[in-house]
Structure 1
Amino acid sequence: MCISHDSMHKRLATGGKKKAWRKKRKYELGRQSANPKLSTNKTAVTRKTRILDVVYNASNSKLVRTQTLLKRAIDQVDAALFKQWYLQHYGLDIGRKSSSSQERRRGETGTEEAKKSNHVMRKLEKQQRYRGLVVGLHLFAA
């Protein structure tokens, strides 16, 4: 039994069965959907995200070409949700240039950030110990 993307197995509009007039073809073959969990090693936090592309797979390059998701495959994902979580968790906005360089170009004064309570500041300082990103990640997160 396999997952098939054809209409040969369906019934007619009248309710009768269709007669099989040929065998199944390879291009009609389907696969079970992958339910991957993506996370970082250090923080042990898992979030849902959108997978854009499979970049590398150590076991076989055909798996990259067919976009097959396996364990230890390197995937390209949508970074919007990760950046949002990182800003909330660590208080740092990744993927954007510093505000001072933008102010110099525009010649404007930037708006001040919302003041945070002492409790929030202590929590962010405590979480800074476990913060770790790959060097140059901001180049890819843009």
Structure 2
Amino acid sequence: MTKLDSSKRIHEVRTRGGNTKYRAIRLDTGNFAWGSEHVTRKTRLIQVRYNASNNELLRTQTLVKSCVVDVDATPFRQWYEAHYAQPAFRGGKLAEESADKKQSNHVKRILDERKKDAKIDPILEQQFKAGRLLAIITSRPGQSGRADGYILEGKELDFYHRKLQLRKTKHAA
């Protein structure tokens, strides 16, 4: 079982036929894809938030396939701000070096075209503001030694957001 921990530990395991697997004992980072923007970034895993199969895995912060985790939003926010030349959420500020940068007319036209398509889901915008994004792990950390996945969006994000809100109100009562 792979635990969420700041110290990375991966063992190489010999399998049938002399092949090898990489068993992740502890992990703290992974590659996550933002599907609607077609971008992938390596980011830090913060916390396991939901596991459909077993609540014990949630309590022990165990990483398994298809568990919902919080990931650091910084790499995705930085990419968004560099790509669209605008903040990822309302009220946000761009970094000073990108705001003061001299740009040619060609680059300005490209950025103006991109800004027309720069729409983010309101729930995703709230997550950017908080600095954490909900993501699902699609790899099998105990078999491949990696925790890779994708950022939740659309109906899937709504579904898991509701699940987490129900859990929060259930434990508060």
- For normalisation by structure 2, the TM-score amounts to 0.46
Q: 1:14 aligns to what?
A: none
- Indicate yes or no: 2:42 matched with 1:55: no
Paired residues of 2:30 and 2:45 also in contact (CA < 8 A): no
Normalized per residue, the structure richer in strand is: 2
Q: How many residues are paired up?
A: 100
Paired residues of 1:50 and 1:77 also in contact (CA < 8 A): yes
Paired residues of 1:43 and 1:130 also in contact (CA < 8 A): no
**Highest RCO, 1 vs 2 (Cα 8 Å, sep ≥ 6):** 2
Q: 2:88 aligns with which of 86, 90, 94?
A: 94
Q: 1:122 aligns with which of 100, 109, 113?
A: 109
Query: 2 CA distance for matches of 1:79 and 1:69?
Result: 19
Query: 2 CA distance for matches of 1:131 and 1:44?
Result: 13
Alignment of 1:1-142 (within 5 A): 32-34=25-27, 36-95=30-89, 97=91, 113-114=99-100, 116-128=103-115, 131-142=118-129
**Aligned sequence identity (%):** 37
Query: 2 CA distance for matches of 1:98 and 1:79?
Result: 14
Q: 1:26 aligns to what?
A: none
Name the SS for the 1:54 alignment partner.
Answer: strand
Is the alpha carbon distance of 1:46 and 1:68 closer, same or farther for their aligned partners in structure 2, counting shifts above 3 Å?
Answer: same
Partner deviation per Cα, 1:89-112 (whole Å, 9 max, x = no partner)? 11121246167xxxxxxxxxxxxx
Measure how far apart 1:130 and its partner are: 5.3
What is the identity, as a one-letter code, of the residue corresponding to 1:83? R
Structure 1 spans left out of the alignment, 5+ residues = 1-29, 100-112
Normalized per residue, the structure richer in helix is: 2
Paired residues of 1:57 and 1:74 also in contact (CA < 8 A): yes
What is the identity, as a one-letter code, of the residue corresponding to 1:136? I
Is the alpha carbon distance of 1:116 and 1:45 closer, same or farther for their aligned partners in structure 2, counting shifts above 3 Å?
Answer: same
Measure how far apart 1:87 and its partner are: 0.5
Query: 2 CA distance for matches of 1:131 and 1:69?
Result: 32
